[in-house]
Amino acid sequence: MPITAVSQRLPVTVVTGLTGAGKSTLLRHLLEHSPELRAAVIRSNGNWPTPEQPLPKGSCCICTEEKTVHLATKSGRYTLRADLLQEAGRLAREDQFDYLLIENPALAALEPVVRTFRVNHPAYGFDLPQRARLDTVVAVVDAAEFFADWHAAAEKPNQAHEEPVPWFRADVLTAQVEAANVVVLNKTDQISPEELGRVWALLRQLNPAARLLTAAFGQVHPAELLNTGRYCPAAAKEPAAAVALPAAYGISSWRFREARPFHPERLWQFVRQGWPKGLLRSQGLFWLASRPENVMRWDQAGPSRRAATVGRWWAATPDRAQHPVFQREELALLARWHPEFHDRVNTLHFIGQDLDEVRLRADLVACLCTPLEIGRWRRGAIFPDPWPHE
């Protein structure tokens, strides 16, 4: 499977997944069933290859330790994978291989990997996008453990030197599935058709644009993961469930859009005490009457719930008309400019199982400011705000 004439850059497939999902098994299968492929594999230290399970002739395996580097440019700050910059760049320059496979560590973020193959700054010594191209991003999911992982309680890092910040498996699963353009649902031989259907339905809602494959023992046809040419960075940035999908196995999605601000105290109480049990995933942007300048982001996966300030609304941005981004998007912004709240709007997306959408909408509407409260907000009233500040 030589590099096609379309691009002489070294094609790259990244494989990610939680520990035990079957990443190494999948990689072995790809190499064993592509004997003509001269492939290099970059992975963290592990138990493969071994004398009993060697690599096919012409292939090689390089073990690296995950290292990051931060790059600041005029267009923003980026985190890149320093180990990939070094090893992938060397392999691309040597021109000895047809393909590069990268096994991302179980808890390692995908965004730095993707950025590493996209950020092109020769002046900084970063020219990898000129030599290699990101062809496919694969998320391997353990079908037998998926819902157990999804609902798992918070865990603490195993490493003593790490900050004791709890993490949730649902957050990691969500990030992997939503960033991939191919999702391999592995170990399907270990669950019932009913359970498989529920996992499939949730994965489809999480990432409707991804190609969803089922497998046992990581057995996927190489053509589905190598030289596909399907990875699109723009599509990977789109919000989950950009396409409305019918409910399956009781799993459905629903969107909430309202211009009025949330009352900070009522929304806080709803999130803490009234949150529906059937909500599996929710995310989006919102704003609070107490913080009219802040764009807030909501992110929930399983038991994990987070809110953070991610920017300013254009309505609260001084000299916005002089800002290049505003100038570029001015027509689209003005087309949806609210006469009272301007560009401020709540846009939330929910995925749930047996979700009572009518009740959820009523609960959210009850958290919005009333006309009387909006009048107070207009006059500069101070609202009680229990939401954390960064």
Q: pLDDT digits over 192-226, tens only? A: 999 999 999 999 999 999 999 999 999 999 999 99
Query: Looking at the domain assignment, is residue 71 inside a domain?
Result: yes
Rounded average pLDDT over 347-352: 97
Are residues 267 and 179 part of one domain? no
Q: How many residues does the chain have?
A: 390
Are residues 363 and 215 part of one domain? no
The pLDDT of residue 47 is above 90: no
Query: Looking at the domain assignment, is residue 130 inside a domain?
Result: yes
Are residues 151 and 263 part of one domain? no
Q: Residue 274's domain is classified under what CATH number?
A: 3.30.1220.10
User: Which pTM does this prediction carry?
Assistant: 0.89
pLDDT, residue 78, reads: 80
pLDDT, residue 214, reads: 97
Rounded average pLDDT over 95-119: 91
The pLDDT of residue 335 is above 50: yes
Are residues 325 and 184 part of one domain? no
Rounded average pLDDT over 304-315: 96
The pLDDT of residue 280 is above 70: yes
Query: Looking at the domain assignment, is residue 98 inside a domain?
Result: yes
What are the backbone dihedrals phi and psi of residue 130, each rounded to the nearest 5 degrees, phi first? -80, -15
Torsion (CA) 37, 44, 155, 166 in degrees, nearest 10:
-110
Distances (CA, A) of 86 to 66, 100, 128: 12, 14, 9
pLDDT, residue 172, reads: 95
Are residues 315 and 225 part of one domain? no
Query: Looking at the domain assignment, is residue 384 inside a domain?
Result: no
Are residues 144 and 14 part of one domain? yes
Query: Looking at the domain assignment, is residue 2 inside a domain?
Result: no
pLDDT, residue 3, reads: 41
Rounded average pLDDT over 299-316: 96
Are residues 233 and 119 part of one domain? yes
Domain that holds residue 354: 251-378
Query: Looking at the domain assignment, is residue 214 inside a domain?
Result: yes
Are residues 295 and 198 part of one domain? no
Rounded average pLDDT over 53-75: 81
Confidence of residue 119 (pLDDT cuts 50, 70, 90): confident
Are residues 163 and 31 part of one domain? yes
pLDDT, residue 222, reads: 96
Are residues 257 and 209 part of one domain? no
The pLDDT of residue 1 is above 50: no
pLDDT, residue 366, reads: 98
Confidence of residue 125 (pLDDT cuts 50, 70, 90): low
Query: Looking at the domain assignment, is residue 44 inside a domain?
Result: yes
Q: DSSP assignment, residue 152?
A: P
| Final residue in a domain of this structure, among 192, 207, 237 | 237
CB burial readout 8-28, b (16+ within 10 A) else e = ebbbbbbbbbbeebbbbbbbb
The pLDDT of residue 345 is above 80: yes
| Final residue in a domain of this structure, among 211, 237, 263 | 237
Rounded average pLDDT over 277-283: 95
pLDDT, residue 70, reads: 83
Question: How many domains does the chain fold into?
Answer: 2
Q: Are 185 and 132 in contact (CB under 8 A)?
A: no
Query: Which residues does 325 contact at the CB level (< 8 Å), separation at least 6?
Result: none
The pLDDT of residue 237 is above 70: no
Are residues 318 and 179 part of one domain? no
Task: Map residue 47 onto helix, strand or coil.
Answer: coil
Query: Looking at the domain assignment, is residue 389 inside a domain?
Result: no
pLDDT digit string, tens, across residues 132-154: 999 999 999 999 999 999 999 99
* Nearest one of 40, 41, 11 to 228, comparing CA atoms: 11
Confidence of residue 161 (pLDDT cuts 50, 70, 90): low
Are residues 159 and 65 part of one domain? yes
Which residue in this structure is represented by tokens 């003593």? 160
pLDDT, residue 160, reads: 55
The pLDDT of residue 6 is above 50: no
| Final residue in a domain of this structure, among 181, 203, 237 | 237
pLDDT, residue 5, reads: 38
Lowest-confidence segment of 23-27, 187-191, 386-390 by average pLDDT:
386-390
Q: Residue 214's domain is classified under what CATH number?
A: 3.40.50.300
- Which residues on neighbouring strands pair with residue 61, listed in sequence order? 41
Lowest-confidence segment of 10-14, 123-127, 169-173, 194-198 by average pLDDT:
123-127
